Amino acid sequence: MVNTLDTRFRPFEVKRKVRESATITSFYLAPVNPGDWRPFEAGQFLTIQIPDPNEGEPLVRNYTVSSAPSEAGVYRITVKREAALTPDMANGIASCWLHDTVEEGTVINVDRPRGAFKLDKASQRPVILLSGGVGITPTISMLKVLVKEGDRPVWFVHACDGAAAHALREEVRELAERRSNVNVHYCYRFPTDEDAKAALFHSTGFITRETMQSLLPLDDYEAYMCGPPPFMQAMYDLLLSLGLEKSKIAYEFFGPASLLSPSRPKKEADPRLDAALVSPEAESTGIEIVLGKSNARFGWDSASESILSFLESQGIEPAFSCRAGVCGSCVQGLISGDVEYVQEPLDAVPAGRILLCCSKPISSVVLDL
């Protein structure tokens, strides 16, 4: 493993490497220095360094922790090998390196857990854990917490191609057997005759509205979902169609949020807004967020988690991916004003630029947006 001078990354040894399905493998990571292990919450991810095939600076990738927060001293990441789909495409650099090169005893550089996709343990609502493919990684961590720490009803719904691609099945079964109000449903897209004979699934094809209506409670509940973008789009629309409020749908995937709702018209800032117009919120806080390209002005809401979440609440959809200061997708030009970072970015942010996902204004700001 390429050494790094970045002290945020610490060496972790791969203690176990376990095949979970035909394409998915788990890696158990323990710190070389035991003091480098940090607590995490179910749903959060690790950032790890990957050697650059061209011998440049290490690459960074994010992988959700699939172990339980109570399993102190070790992190488990569960990774799908992303092989090229066609001859003209490249294999996934990081996932193939992990699968094909990394063995037990390999040392990997790992940054602390990050991420805003977390189980709300204070809530008492029934929970829907909804996953597609390797998106099972955060939902199984959440399931472990729910089974151990409370008695909330849980519906664990997972979709994949078939038994050969189905990871962590036995682990889910053992967890579900501990509580009578944990309900499990598997949907196989391409089940084999052997899958059917062994009764390994409950429905086929895609998760439908009818399937969800037959499973879900009629009362109040909240949903956590993770999977590839097409799965996320379909499930997000389905849950909304069933009457679930947006605020009760939490999700994780590394892509822009607008992918979840491409069919809905995007609210653009109105370039005709008068430069002197100040919203009531701005008058009360004294801080504005101004979009430099349209001169649209918004009064900052101090309850917002970040500039990104604030802009989304106004109908503006900047590009983003990780929401944790890791990927750099939400970087924007800062024309004027000052911000503070509520979460330390993984890399230094150049002067005149900010990361929207982890910053808040400390004065009125004008963005090159």
| Choice between 88 and 239, residue whose per-residue pLDDT is larger | 239
- What angle do the packed helices 136-149 and 169-176 form, to 10 degrees? 20
Shortest CA distance to 245 belongs to which of 147, 135, 125, 122? Answer: 125
Residue 3 pLDDT greater than 50, yes or no: no
Domain 10-110 carries which CATH code?
2.40.30.10
| Residue 86 C-alpha from the chain's centroid | 27
**Topology (CATH level 3) of domain 280-367:** Ubiquitin-like (UB roll) (3.10.20)
Residue 274 pLDDT greater than 80, yes or no: no
Domain boundaries, the chain: 10-110, 127-253, 280-367
Minimum mean pLDDT among 170-174, 206-210, 319-323: which range? 319-323
Residue 15 pLDDT greater than 90, yes or no: yes
CA 283/CA 336 separation, integer angstroms:
19
Tokens 């089940």 sit at which residue?
191
Q: In whole angstroms, how far apart are CA 364 and each of 278, 302, 319?
A: 12, 12, 21
Domains 10-110 and 280-367 share a fold: no
20-55, pLDDT tens digit by residue?
Answer: 999 999 999 999 999 999 999 999 999 999 998 888
73-122, pLDDT tens digit by residue?
Answer: 999 999 999 876 555 545 688 999 999 999 999 999 999 999 889 999 99
Other CB atoms within a 10 A radius of the CB of residue 202 amount to 14
CA 351/CA 17 separation, integer angstroms:
42
CATH class of the 127-253 domain in this structure: alpha beta
